[in-house]
Amino acid sequence: MFLWPPAVAIEAKTFRLFIDADARLAAAAGGVVRYLADVAGLENRAVVQLQSAVIAACSEAFEHLTAAHPQLEITFTRFSNRMEVALSHLGEDSPAVGLDKIAGFASQIGGTSSIQAVLAAFDRVQYETRDGEAVTRLTKYIGPANIDQNPSMT
């Protein structure tokens, strides 16, 4: 019996969450990325890493929320060849996930943050600001090397 990799939709699928700074809501965001990674057929280890990374990224982003702008917007998009998680907030022009940590400066000054898991789990991290909104985009590419060739039947 020949096992084909799971089918991946050609059209982009997008989920958008607006959450307050609450660890339970960060866990919900982790659940969304877990679902997307499962559907894409990623190996279980990669799925767990992505879930943990999104929870860590949300926790880091909560530090940038203000009373005037208390919500974090998280957009999950699944394309045929990648998954993207965009964390954005209004207010100051700082990244949703600390730019110093994205650039790797935290490790140079001896910092050990859970946000380093974000860099390990995702293939690409981008940052941009537009009209007073800071956006950090995390991208995981989906390819044959990332797909579980022996999925469990649960």
Residue 3's pLDDT is 63
Placement of tokens 């998009």 in the chain: 77
Q: Would you state the pLDDT for residue 38?
A: 93
Q: Which residues pair with 77 in a beta bridge?
A: 14, 84
C-alpha to C-alpha distance for 154 and 136, rounded to whole angstroms: 34
Map residue 13 onto helix, strand or coil. Answer: strand
Q: What is the pLDDT of residue 154?
A: 37
What are the tens digits of pLDDT across the range 86-112? Answer: 999 987 655 556 544 544 444 443 444
Q: Is the pLDDT of residue 17 over 80?
A: yes
Mean pLDDT computed over 80-90: 93
